[in-house]
Amino acid sequence: MTALPLATIPETEVHLLHSTAVGEAYRISVALPPTYHDQPDRLYPVIYLLDADFYFGMVTEMVRMMNTRVPFCDELPDALIVGIGYPVNGSQKYISDQVMRLRTRDLLPIHDPSSEQAIAEFFPGLSQVESGGGGRFLQCIEDELIPMIDGKYRTDQGDRTLIGHSWGGTFALYALFAGKARFRRFVVVSPDLPMGDGFVEQCERDYAVLHPSLPVNLYLAFADYELNEWHLPHIRPFVQTLEARNYSGFRFVYQTFGQCRHCGVPAPAFQAGLWNVFETPALI
């Protein structure tokens, strides 16, 4: 490992959140908008990012570039970015392995043996891979993390965004349909809709029985490569259902991307998703 200093991202802060709901510590990374110190009376929307161990740097720099205040940019509002990750240190391989184990537990709302088996096969050094802790993780975000961020920073408490990819996208949809309506905008990329025999789809059906409105902006995206015989039987009816549901206050955009696969789609989809959920005039 190099003895040189690590690269850092300017105007970022790190907190350690000890969650009672989960019984786990989380590394919470916060990126401040460029105007935060110069406008002390201003409140800011908050972008909550799942899988911050993978995506915090990418999304922070992406958002900062997209809200550069020049006439041909200025595509997003200034916003706080809150990355939810794990305080795991060591080699890159060790960090990746441990994060994959922890996210399997936290991001899947139900116990799913096939997902546990897949992670155990892809990461053979892991032991005790568990799933089904999504309910406790959602409680941590809603009842512990959000109040902490609102207490420490000048936040617009009516304007929160949740971003997730893969099982993070699965969790984001679970939060949308089973949560406490803490988020106004959702950027969901490559969710595992087949997981649990369509568990997320059932969450939406359960929600629709009781709620005529869904006042959120939802962006959903997949890589073209993912439109296969395994995913399409779930993607097509889910998209068609959302388009036909006619929820009051609901804005839904669905998009696919070529020339990338499951792990290549977050960058273009996060960028397009943020454009869409913030309803950037240049785009819509």
Q: What is the pLDDT of residue 128?
A: 83
Strands 24-31 and 80-85: antiparallel
What is 114-155 written as a DSSP string?
HHHHHHHHHSTT--------HHHHHHHIIIIIHHHHHHHS-E
pTM greater than the 0.75 cutoff: yes
Q: Per-residue pLDDT tens for 61-82?
A: 999 999 888 888 889 999 999 9
DSSP classification of residue 246 = -
Residue 22 has pLDDT above 80, yes or no: yes
Top-confidence residue, 27 or 68: 27
Q: Examine the pLDDT at 24 and tell me if it is beyond 90.
A: yes
- Structure-token match 């116990």, residue found: 111
Mean pLDDT of 122-137: 90
List of residues 6+ apart from 147 with CB closer than 8 A: none
pLDDT in tens, 73-120: 889 999 999 999 999 998 888 999 999 999 999 999 999 999 999 998
H/E/C letters for each residue in 37-76?
CCCCCCCEEEEEECCHHHHHHHHHHHHHHHCCCCCCCCCC
- How many Cα atoms occupy the beta-carbon half-sphere of 18 within 13 Å? 0
The strand pair at 185-189 and 155-165 is best described as: parallel
pLDDT on residue 126: 77
- More confident site: 241 or 282: 241
Buried/exposed 49-85: b ≥16 CB within 10 Å, e otherwise:
bbbbbbbbbebbebbbebbeeeeeeebbebbbbbbbb
- Nearest Cα neighbor of 201 from 248, 237, 163, 164 is 237
Q: What is the pLDDT, as a whole number, of residue 2?
A: 65
Mean per-residue pLDDT over the chain, rounded: 95
From the list 55, 60, 7, the residue with the least C-alpha distance to 31 is: 60
Query: What average pLDDT does this structure show over 22-46?
Result: 97
As its CATH architecture, domain 12-277 has 3-Layer(aba) Sandwich (3.40)
Nearest to 45 by CA among 202, 192, 177, 156: 156
pLDDT at 183: 98
Nearest of 209, 205, 171 to residue 190 by alpha carbon: 171
Indicate the burial class of 184 (C-beta count within 10 angstroms; 0-12, 13-18, 19 or more): middle
The average pLDDT across 142-152 equals 98
pLDDT at 284 over 60: no
Domains of the chain by residue range: 12-277
Confidence bin at 226 (pLDDT 50/70/90): very high
Look at residue 282 and tell me whether its pLDDT is greater than 80. Answer: no
**Percent of the chain's residues with pLDDT above 70:** 98
